[in-house]
Structure 1
């Protein structure tokens, strides 16, 4: 699967009795490496995969992902490739709560792949996605990569807009992933100390 994007939806208008939404200063993002099989990473992977899988099936077949299919695919793609020394999974927390992920894995000595970019629906629009992508770029540099690549689907227009905004350019396919429609790359500038 590919990096997720926000699904359409509306935000309820707060009423006077509603608690105010925390400000970024009150609930900052923190991003740190985490094992792919930690409880928070597993829960975020399930949320990510459920969203992008359901979005695909709703668009193409008018149905959500069957529960058995969802369980099978989540178990088959654990994220073990996002373990050091050839990869890294990052978990973003908003106000201390697990809220998003981004991962990188080396494809060769100088190229890494960006994957599992995801922000939970309730905290989208609060700056998490760019922070996660930039942290993943730093992780890729730390692994020795000078180039980052990714693939995504045609229906994930929000993801494509994010990558373009962050300096990624569309390129020729680098893989034959069955759900990939668009491929992007970015040359990683050296990290400033």
Structure 2
């Protein structure tokens, strides 16, 4: 897999400083630096691990979910096990996996941890007016959304790669449920169409999990076609579809396409709105896709020229 660079201007020193300043303030304010997080007898790392174990989970999944080193995670899990809060067993169907689950004492500990965390949050919000609380929670929601988007990576993969085909299967299932007439998987792009010098297939990953895809294939000389822009329901409303679209346009330019076209279904109103907002113009039908009701086109030469004319 080949990582796709993000099409953005360099990050300013002021932006870096602001983010770091907020991190320092917030971690201090919630007690993340204290070995007795929330007044309990353990640091934040162990407290968070207890919370994530919940009803039981494999150490492999925990490692992926929290982005922890395997050795560090193992040491924390053993420490919690020694305290009688966690039980580590072998997965009944896969002896290679170790599973962590909370003991009765562990469940009591997490319940108290949640009570104290809620009290801390209420204390922070209590010093604000209702309007200020609304402003703060809206800002935090926006910050989480943008941080999630920033952490997602987009990879250029072969059209036959397992993740590419898995995304297309999920895309097809999604459309089959949304389209009144259903959706036939036979119309999905073939691997050879979206690989190599004439095509491209992008997969978006969040914490190692595929959460989106987009494809490009050759339509005619100088013209590429964008197909199957899809985002997993859990990753929608982040701005990921626009990012995939923008990065696919760059792939088109690299392959010598001055124009890209696409079509969309009548029921996909959100897709139509996105394409228009991204500079696509509605055009007459150009294909025989039975699922299409709208057809769009965008000149990448004009788009590239405008981006070059913008001041740095």
* Deviation, structure 1 residue 150: 0.3
- Give the drift of 1:75: 9.1
Q: CA deviation at 1:127?
A: 1.4
1:52 to 175, 184, 187: 175
Give 1:122-133 correspondences, 5 Å limit: 122-133=234-245
Please state whether the residue corresponding to 2:200 is helix, strand or coil: strand
Of 239, 249, 270, 1:158 maps to 270
2:212 paired with 1:100: yes
1:16-35 → structure 2 map (5 Å cutoff): 23=144, 24-25=146-147, 28-35=151-158
CA distance in structure 2 between the partners assigned to 1:91 and 1:182 by the alignment: 25
- Flag the structure with higher strand content: 1
Unaligned runs of 5+ in 1: 1-15
Task: Give the equivalent residue in structure 1 for 2:14.
Answer: none
> 119, 132, 143: which is aligned to 2:231?
119
Cα offset for 1:128?
Answer: 0.5
Does the CA-based 8 Å contact 1:46-1:74 persist in structure 2? Answer: no
Are residue 83 (structure 1) and residue 83 (structure 2) matched? no
Match of 2:86 in 1: none
Alpha-carbon distance between aligned partners in 1 of 2:187 and 2:300, rounded to the nearest angstrom: 32
Taking structure 1 as the reference length, the TM-score comes to 0.76
Contact 1:106 1:143 (C-alpha < 8 Å) held by counterparts: no
In structure 2, runs of 5+ residues without a counterpart are 1-112, 115-139
Q: For this pair of structures, how many residues does the alignment match?
A: 165
Partner of 2:163: 40
Distance 1:110 1:42 in 2: 27
Structure with the larger RCO, 1 or 2 (CA within 8 Å, 6+ apart) = 1
Which structure has the bigger radius of gyration? 2
Give TM-score scaled by structure 2 length: 0.48
- 1:74 Cα deviation from its structure 2 partner: 5.3
Secondary structure of the corresponding residue to residue 173 of structure 1: coil
2:222 matched residue in structure 1: 110
